[in-house]
Chain A
Amino acid sequence: MSLIRYQIPESTAWPSFDRWINLREDLNTLFELPSWSNFGRQGQLFSRWSPALDLYQNDDNVIAVVELPGMRKEDIEISLHEGTLTIAGERKTESSNGEKAERSERYIGKFRRSTTLPARVDPNKVSATYRDGILTVTLPKAEEAKPKQIQVNAD
């Protein structure tokens, strides 16, 4: 059985009319694509996993919060390169022989997620925690990126 991951419905309400217009436009775009054969080969269109990422900042840190349910912490890789944070890894199956998937929406395999950071950070002080399937990466800002209070000297 192939792995099918579809869009989680935004709401159960009946879609508004302009969504149907968008749908028609989307379909038109789909048929204008050069070749259907690319779909099968890449297999990426429906099965890629792009974990949800939230970004926060305060005076001292940039904090990235990523939803990564069901990982082993050893399988999560965090890297920093020129102001871009990348979180990559692989989710492995636990299923053994004799089992068959009836319906499989969960993504299994490798993923990679990058984001540009809003400030310079100190790569040596990055820390991360993984709890309840949520990865929290704390990236302390580099000294020069921190807001500074300018002292006004009176004569």
Chain B
Amino acid sequence: MNTLVRENRDSELRQNEHFVVPVASIIEDGDGYMLQVEMPGVNKGGLEISVENNELTIIGRRSLPAVEGTLIHRESRRENYRRAFELDPSIDADKINAKIDQGVVTLTLPKAERVKPRKINVS
């Protein structure tokens, strides 16, 4: 049950568009997982989250602030973000919830009722 949301790298090779892999963190609690992905420059409109064949894909398209001026130094990347994860079978894919706040996507991935830890009452 520990296998969680496993990263899926293979699917990245199939794409023609170049993406950068965003930084992510996965936190587990009793009821499920919380996945946080850093996508600075992305807002709600640029976010595309899909689940297909147990694979969760998060694509973030940047809407960069328009800056009037000449670029003199750059460290940021222009490419959009993409990262895919393989979902643990315990996750109820229908109940995945997502929000984005200040460039961080937070997904809550609840476990299906049947796999949640539960107390058995002794009668």
Contacts and interface: CB of A to CB of B under 8 A. Distances in A.
Interface string A1-45: 000010011011000000000000000000000000000000000
B120 interface: no
A77 interface: no
A98 interface: yes
Most buried by A among B24, B36, B42, B43: B36
Given A99-B27, A101-B26, A102-B26, A133 B70 contact: no
Contact of B69 (A57, A70, A71, A100): A57
A134 B27 contact: no
A98 B27 CA distance: 10
A79 B102 CA distance: 22
Nearest to A59: B69
B69 to A, nearest CB: 4
A57 B40 contact: no
A102 B4 contact: yes
A54 B75 contact: yes
Nearest to A98: B29
A89 B47 CA distance: 27
A92 B43 CA distance: 21
Interface residues of A, number: 39
A30 B22 CA distance: 27
A54 B5 CA distance: 33
Contacts of A105: 23-25
A136 to B, nearest CB: 5
Given A12-B13, A54-B71, A102 B65 contact: no
Contacts of B104: 69-70, 133
Interface string A104-116: 1111000000010
B103 A98 contact: no
A65 interface: yes
Given A58-B68, A99-B27, A102-B33, 6 more contacts: A12-B9, A57-B69, A69-B102, A103-B25, A106-B25, A133-B103
Interface of A: 5, 8-9, 11-12, 52-58, 61, 63, 65, 67-71, 95, 98-107, 115, 118, 130-134, 136
Interface of B: 4-5, 9, 12-13, 18, 20-30, 33-34, 36, 38-43, 63-65, 67-77, 101-104
15 contacts: A11-B18, A54-B71, A54-B75, A55-B72, A56-B70, A57-B69, A67-B76, A69-B103, A95-B27, A101-B25, A103-B26, A104-B27, A132-B42, A133-B40, A134-B65
Return the 5 tightest CB-CB contacts between A and B, nearest first.
A133-B103, A69-B103, A56-B69, A70-B104, A133-B40
